[in-house]
Amino acid sequence: MPLQKKDYMSDIWKDGIFANKVVFCTGGAGTICSAQVRALVHLGANACIIGRNVEKTERAAKEMASLRPGAKVIGIGAVDVRKFDSLKDAASRCVKELGGIDFVIAGAAGNFLASIEQLSVNAFKSVMDIDVLGSYNTLKATLPYLIESGKKHRVDSELNPCPLGTGGRIIFVSATLHYRGMPFQAHVSVAKAGIDSLSNSVAIEYGPRGMTSNIIAPGPIESTDGLERLLPSDAKAAYIKSQPLGRVGHVRDIADATVYLFSDAGNYVSGQTLVVDGANWRVSGGTTSQGNLQYPDFLLSGEEVANVTGKKSKL
């Protein structure tokens, strides 16, 4: 059953604000990224979503195209963000079929629980390759089109806003894990810190060419793989009660943040991190336990986190 509008965006946004714009999104069939793209398509954009699973990506694209009469959404599967040529070809196809690329969401990511002692070199490298190298490859593959769009839609001054809408904008989907540290997440924390730094560099180097680059850092979001891994069902009620807003996030919260950054309202926002977590990271630090992985007892026990692929790394 197709998602309802309330499931992926708020009612405050004006229809058509992204008319004739094109968004390119890696991880576009994922829980969070698909909501981001749905909101943009609903508001007038066409889209190209990228994923590894062909069937899942194409099915998501077909469903997204039904959100608005005349919407065009391309789903390109069998794309590995670790391989630049694969992404470059996908970007070229997007431009050929949709006419350009105005917005990019770098959302492909990988995660699992493992202590540093248990984490093999190859497992660490895999997360770095997907998150950091994958984000860089996404940037490089779409950069020529973002520069073109940024130049076309550049806002020269407050008194002379661009009449053609917005463009030349990229969002990197990050996290808050590395702000205060979290056990069993060293690999992801390092990767997300690298993504944050990359976005900041893009903002500095390409701002003079009309581009903006920002980070959205989601906190715990309902119905995502990340939350299910980090929060077992028997601990969920107590965890939610401990949150400042008394709830976990919804994909709609991330989609609304995306619309803001890509809209006219975000014209002067660049090189920033928009944390969407209900103040979660302000109250959870490095001593947080992950379900039955109690800190520090589990680490001191010498046991291994279950369901981690590969053998224990030797020190």
Cβ pair 38, 3 in contact under 8 A: yes
Cα–Cα distance measured from residue 217 to residue 173, given in angstroms and rounded to the nearest whole number: 6
Q: How far is CA 186 from the centre of its chain?
A: 19
Cβ pair 241, 297 in contact under 8 A: no
Catalytic pick from 34, 115, 149, 192?
A: 192
Q: Which amino acid is at 200?
A: N
Cα–Cα distance measured from residue 304 to residue 113, given in angstroms and rounded to the nearest whole number: 10
Q: 10 catalytic, yes or no?
A: no
User: Per the structure block, which two tokens stand in for 265?
Assistant: 């309202």
Q: Could you tell me which residues are beta bridge partners of residue 222?
A: none
Q: 121-128 vs 186-206: helix axis angle to the nearest 10?
A: 30
Which residue is associated with the tokens 């977590």?
277
- Residue 237's contacts (CB-CB under 8 Å, 6 or more residues apart) are none
48 secondary structure, DSSP code: E
Q: 192 catalytic, yes or no?
A: yes
User: Per the structure block, which two tokens stand in for 50?
Assistant: 């990228």
Cβ pair 137, 172 in contact under 8 A: no
- Give the dihedral sign, CA 263/248/284/115: negative
Catalytic pick from 174, 213, 263, 284?
A: 174
User: Per the structure block, which two tokens stand in for 211?
Assistant: 């581009």
Cα–Cα distance measured from residue 266 to residue 104, given in angstroms and rounded to the nearest whole number: 15
Q: Are strands 73-76 and 46-50 parallel, antiparallel or unpaired?
A: parallel
Give the residue numbers marked as catalytic.
174, 192
